[in-house]
Amino acid sequence: VDVVNADFVKSSVKTEECPADGAPEFALVGRSNVGKSSLLNSLVRRKRLALTSKKPGKTQCINHFRINDSWYLVDLPGYGFAAAPHEVRTDWAKFTKDYFLNRPTLVSVFLLIDASIPAKKIDLEYASWLGQNEIPMTLVFTKCDKRKKKKNGGKRPEENVRDFQELIRDFFKSTPPWIMTSSVTNQGRDEILLHMSQLRNY
Ligand code: GTP
Ligand code: MG
């Protein structure tokens, strides 16, 4: 299940532009700055395969990375980031929703949630949208290494995770699988790769 090689393939802004070889893929989605690109780098053990940034909004396209010449990891733009004050917040770009709904090779969406802070309304909205549209989903809690209690609303990652799961319970027919991770300590890395390999062989 380990990653032997990983190559950037292409950036697309439309579903039709995405690779057409039929290989299975997993998309990383979540709020801007939640750590999508960092998680991707941690999964493939490369520091800068997907570009990361302290500033939100770094990833702007549908980016396909080919893993072990047989499947794809897909880095998507984050949601919930307004480029300028008062600007309508950059929504899940139209192409992202279209991609979720019209990409048969998409095995599961990996929705990333920051476990170091309490649940955000926008994350609940997107979880709800995925549930309503019956898009297969795995929950990935990020930044589980951050435990500065006071700064982060007084709760530990484990508590934020439990709260979030409680809040989304009614959005799904069955509880989505979930994994706690950190791109700093690589917590959850092997668990994600194993889960992805199980989903591919399903
Ligand atoms: P966009 O592309 O802008 O949507 O952001 P992104 O979701 O790809 O986030 P990115 O991986 O660029 O990470 C954003 C910031 O969070 C960076 O400063 C990372 O170093 C930091 N970060 C990401 N993952 C973790 C983690 O597991 N733990 C800690 N402590 N920081 C993290
Ligand atoms: Mg990114």
Tally of domains within the chain: 1
* Model pTM above 0.95: no
Residues lining ligand 1, CB < 6 A? 30, 32-38, 52-54, 56-59, 77-78, 142-143, 145-146, 182-184
Query: Residues near 27 by Cβ (< 8 Å), separated by ≥ 6?
Result: 74, 76, 99, 100, 106, 109, 110
- Give domain status of residue 95, yes or no: yes
Residue 78 lies in domain: 6-200
**pLDDT, tens digit (0-9, with 9 covering 90-100), for 19-53:** 999 999 999 999 988 998 899 899 998 877 777 66
Looking up tokens 């439309």 gives 14
- Give domain status of residue 38, yes or no: yes
DSSP 177: P
Which CATH number characterizes residue 74's domain?
A: 3.40.50.300
Q: Which residues pair with 72 in a beta bridge?
A: 25, 66
ipTM: 0.97
Residue 67 burial (10 A CB sphere; 0-12, 13-18, 19+): buried
Token couple for 144: 């589980």
- Give domain status of residue 1, yes or no: no
Map residue 140 onto helix, strand or coil.
strand
Range with lowest mean pLDDT among 28-32, 60-64, 168-172, 188-192: 60-64
4 vs 107, residue with greater confidence: 107
**pLDDT, tens digit (0-9, with 9 covering 90-100), for 144-155:** 999 766 655 678
